[in-house]
Amino acid sequence: MRIVIQRVSEASVAIDDSEVATIQKGLLILLGIENEDTQEDIDWLCNKIANLRIFPDEDGVMNISLKASEGNVILVSQFTLHASTKKGNRPSYIKAAKPDIAIPLYEAFIKTLQTTLGKSIQTGDFGADMKVHLVNDGPVTIIIDSKNKE
């Protein structure tokens, strides 16, 4: 499981010109799911997201976690995070989980992250053609792969 975390001052997601999610200060998280991902990957990533100290303290030092901040979250599924570009010029998505595997894991990720944070999160719509708007704050962008824990 792979995520791209972007600290934002604002973000939104629209589907068919209709806004389905919007936040001010917080995180926009893109989530890519592989076939072999499990609840263990979800638990590890959700704990990491909640406790990653990437919000500024009173001295401007990144020392505050999402859990300790007033920040909100938009979570967007994005299978292209598992693109392989090693061969040729057309990306291969063979490692990305198909919907029958990915959707239950995506839904479990949402529930686990909400429980870990103690607040609801907003989402895009799995598999939809979404327009994502964000103002990256910092900029702060972090990529985490649950297969690279050690």
Active site residues: 78-80
What span, in angstroms and rounded, lies between the C-alpha atoms of 80 and 90?
12
The distance between the two most distant Cα atoms of the chain, rounded to a whole number of Å, is: 48
Phi–psi pair at 113, nearest 5 degrees: -65, -40
Q: Are residues 77 and 106 in contact, defined by beta-carbon separation less than 8 angstroms?
A: yes
**135 contacts 11 by C-beta, under 8 angstroms:** yes
Q: How many CB atoms lie within 10 A of CB 35?
A: 13
Return d(Cα 13, Cα 10) in angstroms, integer: 11
Q: What are the residue ranges of helices labelled H in 32-149?
A: 39-51, 99-117
